Each structure stands twice: as C-alpha cells, then as structure tokens.
Amino acid sequence: MSSPYKRLRLSLETPVPSDYEISRSQVPKQITEVAKESGILDSEVEPYGSYKAKVKLDVLDRLSGRKNGKYVLVTGITPTPLGEGKSTTTVGLAQALGAVLGKRVFANVRQPSMGPTFGVKGGAAGGGYSQVIPMDEFNMHLTGDIHAVSMANNLLAAALDTRLFHEATQTNKGLWKRLCPVQKDGSRDIPRGLGPRVKKLGLDKKDPRDWTEEEIGKFVRLDIDPETITWKRVLDLNDRSLREVTINQAPTEKGLLRKTGFDISVASEVMAILALSTSVEDMRERLGRIVVASSKSGEPVTCEDLGCAGALAAIMKDAIKPNLMQTLEGTPVFVHAGPFANISIGASSVLADKIALKLVGTESPEEEPGYVVTEAGFDFTMGGERFLNIKCRNSGLSPDVIIIVATVRALKVHGGGAAVKANQPLAPEYTSENLEMLKKGCANLQKHIQNARQYGVDVIVAINQMTLDTANEHEVIRQAAIEAGAVDAIVSNHWEKGGAGAEDLALGVIKCSHKEYPVQQTRDEKFHYLYSVEGESSIQSKIESIAKKMYNADSVEFSPKALQKLEEYTKQGFTNLPICMAKTQYSLSHDPNWKGVPSGYVFPVKDIKASIGAGYLYALADKIQTIPGLATRCGFMNVELNEKGEIEGLF
C-alpha cells in the first residue's frame, strides 16, 4: 500500500551506531512538507526553523466533523535504570504503520527534560533506527515550551513571596493605596488581574469607593500562612543542592526568612496543566485555580487571588500549540508537554492527541481510520494508570489498544537477577539464556497485564528484542503474556531495523483495534476507570484503591502530615478529584529494591499535595524526590560542540 508520507529510507548498519550518529545521517524533510502530508494547512503551521513547527489549535475546529482514528497507548513493565524501550517502541510502531504499511499515523510523545538528558537516563527521542529527528533539537530546547513553563511557574512564586513581604510590612490602608491607586476622577484603578478576586468576594456589584474598611481588608490581605505554602520555584535541571533552600536572606527582606526548595520544571503543576488543557480558555481557567497556600483561616489561596493568572496565560500562549516533528522514516510526530512520570502524570498533551486523532480520522464509514500512537511514562502501574484515570477523564478519550513493552533483561531482574546499573557491565545471567529466572520474572509482566485489563481495554505485549535474546526466551514471555490475558505477544526489532522490524507488531495492533482477535471473556468489554471521583469516594479510599489494586499492597499507612492534608483538603472541598501517586519507577511498590510482584506490605504515604489547576491531588510515597540529582558519571560529560557547530555525544 502506498504511504500518505514520502518515506525516508534507512541505511541500516551493523553494529547499530549511536543515536545521534543515526539521526545526523538522515536528511529530514522540510517540516512544511510533513505538515502538508499530514493534512495540516499552511495557515495552521508556524515553522521554527526547517525541521520543527508549532501547529495552531484552529485545526480542531476545521476537522470537528471527523470521526477519530484509532488510539493506541504504549506503556511498559517495571523498568530498569537502562529503560526498556517504550519511546523507541512508540516511534518504531508509528514508522511501521505509516512508512511500511501505508497507514495514516501520528506518534505523540512528551518533550524531554534536559535534567535526565544530561543525567543518566538520556533523552526521549527513541533510539537506534526508531527515533524522532533531529534528535538534538528534540532533546534540547525544542521551541521553548519548558522555558515558558519555568517562567510561568517562577513568576507565580515571585508574586507569592512579594505579597507575603508587602502584607507583612504594610497596613491595609497602605496596601489599598498601592494596589488600587486613586484616579483623577476619584475612582480606584483595580488591576485587571484582580477582577476575579473582586468577584470571588462578592464585591463586583459595588463601587470600590463604597467598600467598607472590612471589605477593603478582605480584598487586599490574603493573610497567607507561610507554613502552608506548597508552591516552589523550578528549573529544568537535576540539581540536588536545591531540594531545600532558605530564601529572603538579604537585609532588604526584613528578616522574613522562609524555608522552601526547587522542583524540576517538568514536575511543575504548570506543565501538568499544559498537558491536560483542552483549549486556551481552559488553560487560563486552570492556571487561575492553582492553589499555592492556605490563609490563616484555612481558605485556599489561588493564583487568581494573586492577580497572576492572566500573566501566566500570556507566557504560555505559544506553548499550548503542539510541536510537529518527524520520525527517521518521515512519518509525523507531535511532541508536546513533558510532565515527569514518577512525580506527575507522565503523558503528552490532550490537545496533541485530539488534533492527531482528527488528522488520522475519517469522514465516511467507508474510509479506513488511521492510528495515533502515544505513550505513558515508565510502567503501566504509573504512567498507564494516570493516563487512564486522569488524562482520559480530562479528554473524554479512551484507548483502543494498550501495548505493554517488555524486555528479557528487565524480566530477569524481576526474577532475581543482579542489579542492572548504567555504565556498568551486565551480569552473566543477562548475556546467556536463563529460562527459570525469566519465568519467575514474568510475574511482573503478568501483574501489569492484569492491571491494564481492569480498565476494559485489550492488551498486546511488545517484546522489545535485544541482541543477546534467544527465541526460547521470547517464547517464555509470549506464553506468560497469553496466560495473563494479553491478546497477543509480539517480538519487535525496531531498534535495529526501524519500521520494518515493527511490522508484525503493527499488524497485531491493527487486528486488535478492529477486534479481530478472539474476545477475552474474562475482561469487561466497556472502558471504565479504576475508581469514582464522585459521591462518597474519599481521598483516602481512592489512594487505597490504587495501592491495593495496582501495587498489590495490603494496606496504606498515612503519615501525620498526610493525615493533616487529608483533613485540610476535605474541608476545602477537593475530594472529587482523581489521584496522582508519586513513587519510584523501579518497583510496583514504594521500595525500588523490591522486584517482581511484592505482596504483604504496607504502602507509606508521607505527604499529599493539591494540584487544583491540573485537576488532581498527588500523594508522595516514602522517599520520592521532586527534583532528581546527578550521578557521579553523567551524560553531559560526553556532550560537545564540533567544529561545524553540531552537537555530539548525546545518547
């Protein structure tokens, strides 16, 4: 079948060169050509150089009458620090569907943080012959979305601390005079950004000149309790030294010392809002709902109260447009949003998915639908669970197929193999066949399959082939997957062969999305969420539901701090929200050293925080950090700029 895309041919080499060498060896199409092939009009494209562009949200209005294409979610088993190839599988599958089989397709992936890119994990462009290109532009800066997120986040932090300072050093009369100075006609100049606060207090029906002293006091004084502040500054870097800092040490700050810290930019609620917003208007409303602290009387203090939401929206006005790029074989890719996967929701944007589903969609029943292949960070229990319970609640979408990526290497780790560490040689069990260890480790894969099937969606296991794998090992995984309820388990060698290596996987996805596999009678045929957010469902019960059903925990233990937050958020009316669990990615449990399928344990929740703008609460398990640190040996040590001005040494 002829492809709707001009295929870029691969020049396969053995052994497979480094990712950046492969990326540089390919000559990408002009991004305007990629857009045209994808069905995007010239008027809807804003090029950023030759090989990347912003796509305007107008395309959604133009294609509103189309039926969506098929929606494919790629997730994985509990990974090792080396990663198991989830992004590579996403890209390889898209290349197989579009360049090899001639289907309309989009790969939708997150923008990587430069923290992991310069750390141990590396970038997120895929790998080998299944990559988004140019990979250096993909992994560094792109179109500046993460910088916009950082700036918006930090403006809110500066506004918050500034308000604390001015309220501590001025009377209500002084605050009123400076916030809303008197005009020549005697009226008060109330900043536009504080209009929502006026309305919130019920003062919008009254001339400010007639406000009482009590009303003026309520308006100008947020009366923030410093002990309740949750909003931190961010930067797009792994920097452990900033996990806890003391601010306001300069003499000008009147001794208002405060302990705080930094998060990594991709853990910011602003990034989650970017991922979950459905329009510019929705993003503006969500930014206004961000809760940064509580007042001394227990009321939530929002971004809107600080008069900051409009400015944040202005900073984010271009970031909300998805970024268009391409794969090594010339098929289109949306790269948009990058929320961290062990702290935040770990999924690309709702808007990118909605636009892509329309672009590959159909206008008549006779047309064959195309495919949107998107990923969820780390394993199904983390990224997949949040994708379905949080992202799908926001988008109203649900996947047709869930792909769980597995490797022989990771399953041997779960079967009792030695620890796998970056930049260190593999132990002998990973370089030779060991079927017993593999069979034992397959319990982890089976748990993820069982977890995914609880949502009423069919599962395919993608066995990401590695050089030292054997056919016997692949058969062990296939049998374990089918036994656990997967409709199929398919070996894919996209890293070494590009789209051609994922052709069987693509055919399996097509078959599954059209329900051509035998019906799995033990699965609920209708998509549903793991828990309800309405009615009697408490914050505590939702956390317990996730821990028990997804992590196999016996019970949940809440720290005194977490119990205090449960009470606070319940009083503030935040019970009808889904939960994002922040925990380690290296175990189903909270302890990265517990492999396989841990059981008979208590899951500890040390804190709970509110992301009201994003629309969820998030619970922090055990020792999880919201800004990573750098290892002794890091990726940045190999990065260099050559004499041609080209970046070398990226993963």
Give the whole-angstrom CA distance, residue 498 versus residue 247. 50
Specify the CATH number of the domain 19-143+318-517: 3.40.50.300
pLDDT tier at 341, thresholds 50, 70, 90: confident
- Averaged pLDDT for residues 132-148: 92
* Collapsed DSSP state (helix, strand, coil) of residue 599: coil
Instruction: State residue 399 phi and psi, 5-degree precision.
Output: -75, 150
Q: Tell me the two tokens of residue 307.
A: 């008069």
The angle that helices 172-179 and 145-169 make with each other, rounded to 10 degrees, is 140
Parse the chain into domains and list their residue ranges.
19-143+318-517, 146-313, 539-620
Q: Which of 114-118, 153-157, 161-165 has the lowest mean pLDDT?
A: 114-118
106-115, 152-161, 571-580: least confident range: 106-115
DSSP tag of 96: I
The predicted structure's pLDDT at residue 636: 75
Residue among 164, 155, 166 nearest 227 (CA): 164
Q: What whole-number distance in Å separates Cα of residue 263 and Cα of residue 235?
A: 7
The tens digit of pLDDT for each residue in 235-258 reads 999 889 999 999 999 999 999 999
**Beta pairing partners, 613:** none
pLDDT given at position 651: 63
Q: Is the pLDDT of residue 448 over 90?
A: yes
- Here the tokens at position 629 are 């640190």
pLDDT (mean) for 571-588: 95
Q: What is the CB neighbour count within 10 angstroms for residue 629?
A: 13
- pLDDT bucket at 543, cuts 50 / 70 / 90: very high
User: What does the buried/exposed string (b/e) look like for 437-448 if buried means 16 or more CB atoms within 10 Å of the residue's CB?
Assistant: bbbbbbbbbbbb
Nearest Cα neighbor of 415 from 446, 448, 437 is 437
Question: Is a pLDDT exceeding 90 seen at residue 141?
Answer: no
* 363-371 average pLDDT score: 94
Nearest partner of 34 among 18, 20, 50, judged by Cα: 50
**DSSP string for residues in 455-484:** TT-EEEEEEE--TT--HHHHHHHHHHHHHT
Q: What is the mean pLDDT of residues 10-34?
A: 94
Question: Which has the minimum average pLDDT: 49-63, 290-304, 425-439, 531-545?
Answer: 531-545
- Unique residue bearing structure tokens 């009808």: 576
Mean of per-residue pLDDT scores for the chain: 94
Name the CATH superfamily, with its identifier, for domain 539-620: Formyltetrahydrofolate synthetase, domain 3 (3.10.410.10)
DSSP annotation of 221: -
* Inter-residue contact 18 to 38 (CB < 8 Å): no
In Å, how far from its chain's centre is CA 560? 29
In the numeric block, the tokens 């609920």 are attached to 524
Nearest to 49 by CA among 332, 316, 331, 323: 323
pLDDT digits (tens, 9 = 90+) for 72-95: 999 999 999 888 999 999 999 999
Q: What angle do CA 284, 576, 565 make, to 5 degrees?
A: 95
What pLDDT is recorded for position 340? Answer: 86
Domains 19-143+318-517 and 539-620 agree in fold: no
Q: DSSP assignment of 14-51, as one string?
A: SS---HHHHHHHS-PPPHHHHHHHHT--GGGEEESSSS
Give me Rg for the CA atoms of the chain. Answer: 25
> How confident is residue 121, by pLDDT bands cut at 50, 70 and 90?
low
Under a CB-based contact definition with an 8 Å cutoff, are residues 285 and 313 in contact? no
Q: For the chain, give the percent of residues with pLDDT over 70.
A: 98
Alpha-carbon distances of 430 from 412, 422, 424, 571, rounded to whole Å: 7, 14, 13, 52
- If you average pLDDT over residues 91-104, what whole number do you get? 98
Q: Is domain 146-313 classified as CATH 3.40.50.300?
A: no
Higher pLDDT, 22 or 525: 22
Q: Examine the pLDDT at 521 and tell me if it is beyond 70.
A: no
Highest mean pLDDT of the ranges 74-83, 92-101, 516-525: 92-101
pLDDT of amino acid 404: 98
